[in-house]
Chain A
Amino acid sequence: MLLLIARRLGLGLLVALTVMTLAFMLTRLSGDLAISIAGPAATQADVEIIRKAYGLDRPLYVQFFSWVGRAMVGDFGQSYFFKDSVANLIARRLPITLTLGLTGLSLALIISIPLGILAAVRENTWIDRGVTMFTMVGQAIPSFWLALILMIVLGLNLGILPISGTGTWQHFVMPGIVLAFTAIPALTRLTRSGMIEAMASDYIRTARAKGLSRARIIFKHALRNAAIPVVSIAAVQLGFMLGGSIVIETVFALHGVGYLGWESIAKNDFPVVQAVVLVLASIYIGLTLLSDILNALLDPRLRTG
């Protein structure tokens, strides 16, 4: 078990390092950073000053290693636009994105697990087909469009929720619903197929033969086994949701990390872009690690690594 964790941890670090390299290369794609930062009105002298001030006159590999070295201890440099340290910016925005992510994931689980169970125990009936249709529809709805529709219906027509901003918990309801919708189809299908598989297994037949009630069989025996992949996937799914929250945060002007990423891309604020990519990737890596460990705890067969 410890060996497994150690191996996964090593792999995760290696992946994180690769992502750092890619993130660094990404922000150098545009060519000369100093010119982009200085803006179109700048003179050659301005550009030189900026190049010196931000250390962009050093060789690329020096810039890279200095960035990696400092990022290891949590120092991501200064933001060009916000006039604050990148670490501070992210620390302030991260709770908002995490709140959104957890809200979305909880909503998704609350909706998709019962739906998946319902479809599985009523396999091949119109209920099952209805659930499948629902997942197909959910998969095809563009999230930003769903966001706008919710704004019109819940925000304007019914007037029960604020349309955009970050102030109160009500501001998280609509974004949470939209984010949940990005995960519901996959989680519902996973629960459904897991339950169908579990219901057809030998231990369920044994439970039936013992004369246990249907509710007890479904909820106590089948669900426990079907839940294992769902729980572990939920962690990974949260990682994807946080990465995908940039669109939703931008639509709702929810000032989380994703919105910060969008702002800094629009403002050519490269240290922030690099750091946001790295932070989101690290969270994903951490969550997959957690998922692997969770899996191994739940299923002893996976512990050999």
Chain B
Amino acid sequence: MSEPIAIQGPLQAPLTSRVGMTGFAIGIAIVGIIAVAALIGNQFVPHDPFTQDLGNRLKPPFWMEGTQAGHLLGTDQLGRDYLARLVYGARISLLIGIMTVITSGVIGITLGVLGGFFGGRVDDAVLFAITTRLSIPVVLVALAVVGLMGSGLGLVVATLGLLLWDRFAVVARATTMQIRNLDYVNAARCAGASTMHLLVKEIVPNIASHLAVVATLEMALAILLEAALSFLGLGVPPPLPSWGLMIAEGKDYMFFSAWVIMIPGVALFVLVLGINLVGDGLRNLLGSERLR
């Protein structure tokens, strides 16, 4: 879930640069491979993720006995090819992660920059909005919205986007406060730049690196939350192969064929780990210890 705003101390001293950079490289490799698989992977999988084959239900993956040639990762409870579904699921996870970060980023950065730049009443209002947002239980509200309005990919993105902007706002606000009175901002102000110009051209580009770190964290969180919502049956609707939904559908068979939940679970874990490693590497590169 989200982290409390009260944290201000250095949360993580940078690792020795060599170790940090190894993690960064691994992270980029993981995210890169999954992204490529999501984009063009379906070209290489000989099956369609939606075609059912009830005669070939729950065939195990290649490393187990009783596997079936052609279905590298086996088939699910409806005989659909697991690899094809996994690859399609990567597309859903990444799409939801990216779209949610864009939505929540726009909301959070706008609020944070306005609060940090203007201070006073505006800042009070922004702080109040952040406090309120943090007190709202994210999973419950997201479930309620999807439960009431019907499940769908767009709705999940919109809901998560409206709920996950808090950390963007906190970081944008704090970093804007640090730089709002620096010389180059004042110089631009004296040169007659409009407030809009100051915010968009002077402030935002200079806090962008900090925001990039937040973006990776929020993307990982959004992907985990989508999987949780889909797992509870109130996220991406079937037959779309969201990884969370695949785990939910495999749950009934997990005591006999544990691989049905292991495969999508590991995929989810590896993707989120990769994104977090990228975020950690970025943070070390920036030396911005105050962010998480």
Chain A contacts to B: CB under 8 angstroms: 11, 14-16, 18-19, 22, 26-27, 29-30, 36, 123-124, 129, 132, 136-137, 139-145, 148-149, 151-152, 156, 182, 186, 189-190, 192-194, 196-197, 229, 232-233, 236-237, 239-244, 246-247, 250, 258, 261-262, 265-266, 268, 273, 276-277, 280-281, 284-285, 288, 291, 295
Across the interface, do A285 and B15 meet the contact criterion of CB distance under 8 Å? no
Chain B contacts to A: CB under 8 angstroms: 1-4, 6-7, 9-13, 15-16, 19, 23, 128, 131-132, 134-141, 143-145, 147-149, 220, 224, 227-228, 231-234, 244, 247, 251, 254-255, 258, 261, 265, 268-270, 272-273, 276-277, 280, 289, 292
Across the interface, do A193 and B2 meet the contact criterion of CB distance under 8 Å? no
Residues of B within 8 A of A247 (CB): 139, 228, 231-232
Tell me what chain A mostly uses at the interface: helix, strand, loop, or mixed.
Answer: helix
Given A124-B16, A262-B232, A246:B140 Cβ within 8 A: yes
Which single member of A27, A124, A284 contacts B137 (CB below 8 Å)? A284
Across the interface, do A284 and B269 meet the contact criterion of CB distance under 8 Å? no
Given A15-B131, A18-B132, A197-B9, A273:B273 Cβ within 8 A: no
Across the interface, do A145 and B247 meet the contact criterion of CB distance under 8 Å? yes
Quote the shortest CB–CB distance from B90 to chain A (angstroms).
Answer: 15
Across the interface, do A29 and B9 meet the contact criterion of CB distance under 8 Å? no
Across the interface, do B15 and A19 meet the contact criterion of CB distance under 8 Å? no
Given A140-B276, A189-B11, A189-B12, A258:B140 Cβ within 8 A: yes
Chain A-chain B contacts (Cβ-Cβ < 8 Å), number: 177
Which single member of A152, A262, A284, A295 contacts B254 (CB below 8 Å)? A152
Residues of B within 8 A of A182 (CB): 1
Across the interface, do B255 and A152 meet the contact criterion of CB distance under 8 Å? yes
Residues of B within 8 A of A239 (CB): 135
Across the interface, do A281 and B258 meet the contact criterion of CB distance under 8 Å? no
CA distance A291 to B280 in the complex (A): 28
Residues of A within 8 A of B144 (CB): 26-27, 261, 265, 273, 277
Across the interface, do A140 and B273 meet the contact criterion of CB distance under 8 Å? yes
Given A26-B141, A247-B139, A265-B234, A233:B11 Cβ within 8 A: no
Across the interface, do A277 and B6 meet the contact criterion of CB distance under 8 Å? no
Which single member of B4, B13, B148, B231 contacts A144 (CB below 8 Å)? B231
Across the interface, do B9 and A15 meet the contact criterion of CB distance under 8 Å? no
Quote the shortest CB–CB distance from B3 to chain A (angstroms).
Answer: 6
Across the interface, do B1 and A129 meet the contact criterion of CB distance under 8 Å? no
CA distance A239 to B268 in the complex (A): 26
Which single member of A29, A123, A193, A284 contacts B11 (CB below 8 Å)? A193
CA distance A200 to B13 in the complex (A): 12
